[in-house]
Each structure stands twice: as structure tokens, then as C-alpha cells.
Amino acid sequence: MALQTLLVQNLRIIEQLDLSLAQDANLFVGENGAGKTSILEAIDVLSRGRSFRERRTSPLIKQQTDELVVSGKVVVDGVSTHLGIQKSSKHTLLHCNQEKVASISNHASYLPALSMHPDSHQLIQGSGKYRRNYIDWSAFHVKHNFLMIWRDYNKCLRQRNSVLRNRGSEHELNIWTAQLSELGEDLNQSRKKIFNEIRPIFMKYSSILLPECKLEVNFHSGWQDDVALEEALNDMREQERMSKTTRSGPHRADIKILLNEQTASATASRGQQKLIAASMLLAQIDHIQQFNHRKCVVLLDDIRAELDQQHARALIKALQMLGCQVFITAIEAEQIDLEGWEETNVFHVKQGVCTPN
């Protein structure tokens, strides 16, 4: 799988961009604020419908314009697929081979994009939401029914929370509790399976990037392990009536990361957090590629500001071994060693204009 072409219109400072891309590595070089990261954001928008830097659409749209457009040609096993997305503050239009599609999950299946960027340390330091998103992104790509289970659970959760907020009857609450419990158990089992598959891969990469540290990762379901979810919900009913929200379930799941037997979020240095996040990224890529037999697109935004030269090289070497298509930003070309890739492109970016070197 490779993204062969990329067309971008009206995204941040980019007015018009039309690129032919290398299947192995593409390096974008330029000063801070030149628009390098915006190119990576465009690829993320084409894959997931949003940027790794910004969930909202309005900040992505170039000033004094109404909408942004990103399109590209993806080649999988010799078959070309044309993807396109138009986004304004009010609507999103998706196209696949010139036909409208209803869900961005269609794009993501063709173009699985993962990123490492200056906020990647939030995967360790941030709330459980970041780690749930991490495990769910992997599950989406390797379990065909996961997205349906995840959506059904979250719809049911909203209904149950509505009953709690509006002081609904016990009968009504019992109905939603039973449904939420069944869906929650299914969702939890899917996540556990994915975690158990990723864990040994993560341990392999963390031993490469952090050989001097003892790392441990464990999955927490969001309620007590030896209790069924329905029982846990019923036990918390009085507290939930008071707080007006569901306090147990997969929406409170987390991955607990220990560094030298201490909670990593509290004890790891910023550099160690970045290396743990890099290990998690590599494990996720390796896992997805093993199971869906498609190469991932990897976006590395200013990794030399995130990692020292030794660890940046180790990360790039691992990505070369995995055979990913990689997009990298840097201030100077000399910061990134492209040796080891067969097909590479280097682009110079200035004021939103991108030209081949």
C-alpha cells in the first residue's frame, strides 16, 4: 500500500499543493511555520477525517476561504483507489473512486495513517482517553465488527446517562443497564484480545528504545476484573444516581504503564515518555500490518525535536524493517538519514509552497 499522489487545497497556509510521492520515504524540509506539518495534517485528514493537531475543522481551513479539499491516489496490490474529502465548518463530503461514501471508516481502511508528533507524550501522560483511542484504532483495523460494537456501546451509554440525568425510573434504568452490560462485555473482550496481541510486540520495541528501563503494561477494563459488568453497575447505582453518570464500563478502560515499577505518567522524564510513545507506535504499526496485510502510512512530525539522534535513527530503522511509507518533517535535510530506503523524495517547503529538491 502506498499513497502515490496528494492534492491539497486551502488547508492552513496551503492554497494549492499537488505532489507525486515516493513509496518509501518523503522528507519535507523548511523553517518553522513554513507549512511542513500542514502537509502531514492533510494526509491525516484524508485518512481519518481530522488532524492529529486539531479535532475541529475551522482552524484547518485557510483564512478567507470556506472549505478545504484533500484527495489522493492509494495503490494496494496494484489496484488504485482515489480518495477525496471536502470539509467546511458545516459539512463533510467523502468520495471513493468518484462516488460518495457515508463514513470516514471507508477511507481509514484504505489509508491507515499513524503519527508521532510533539503531543505524542500524552499517550503516557494524558488521560485514559488517549490510551483507549490507541487500542481502539488497532481494533478497528484488525477486527471487522469492532466499530459496530463500539458505536452501539456508546449509543447505549448516552441513553443510560440520559436516564440518570433525568432521574428516570428504576425499570427504565434496568433496561439500559442490561443492554449496556451485554455490549460492554463484548467491547471489553475485543479490547483485551487486541491488547494481549500488542503487548509482546510493545515489549520487543521498548527493549530496543529503552533497554536500560523495566517497562510493564497492563489492561484495566474499567471495572473490577472478577465482577460481571452488570453486577458492577448495579453495585454503583446509588452513587450513579447522585453523580448522574455511568461510573463503570469500557468507557473508563485504561492501559496502565509502569516504568521501573512506578507509574510512568508520574515518574518518566519527557524523553522517556517520548520513547515509550514511540515503542507503542511501532507496536501498533507492526500489529496492524501483521493482521490486515497492508502497509501503514506513518507521519513523523519533527522527530528530531522529540528524539535524540540515536533514538531517531533507531525509530527510522525499525520503520524501514516494517516497510511502512513514511512522511517526515525536519528543519534541515541533514537531520534525517534516508539511507536504507530504496525510493525517497525530499521536498522544500516555504510559506505553504512545496517544491522537490
Here the cell at position 37 is 506539518
Helix residue spans in 99-216 (DSSP H): 105-110, 122-125, 128-142, 146-165, 170-209
- For 92, the 3-state DSSP assignment is strand
**Whether CATH 3.40.50.300 fits 1-112+294-357:** yes
Q: What is the pLDDT of residue 275?
A: 94
pTM for this model (two decimals): 0.94
25-29 and 344-350 beta bridge pairing: parallel
CATH 3.40.190.10 fits 123-290, yes or no: no
pLDDT in tens, the chain (357 residues): 689 999 999 999 999 999 999 999 999 999 999 999 999 999 999 999 999 998 899 999 999 999 999 999 999 888 999 999 999 999 999 999 989 998 898 898 899 999 999 899 999 999 999 999 999 999 999 988 999 999 999 999 999 999 999 999 999 999 999 999 999 999 999 999 999 999 999 999 999 999 999 999 999 999 998 999 999 999 999 999 999 999 999 999 999 999 999 999 999 998 899 999 999 999 999 999 998 888 899 999 999 887 888 889 999 999 999 999 999 999 999 999 999 999 999 999 999 999 998
Task: List, for residues 180-219, the tens digit of each pLDDT value.
Answer: 999 999 999 999 999 999 999 999 999 999 999 999 999 9
- Spatial neighbors of 161 by CB under 8 A, at least 6 apart, are 244, 245, 246
CA–CA dist 134, 249 (Å, integer): 17
What is the residue extent of each domain of the chain? 1-112+294-357, 123-290
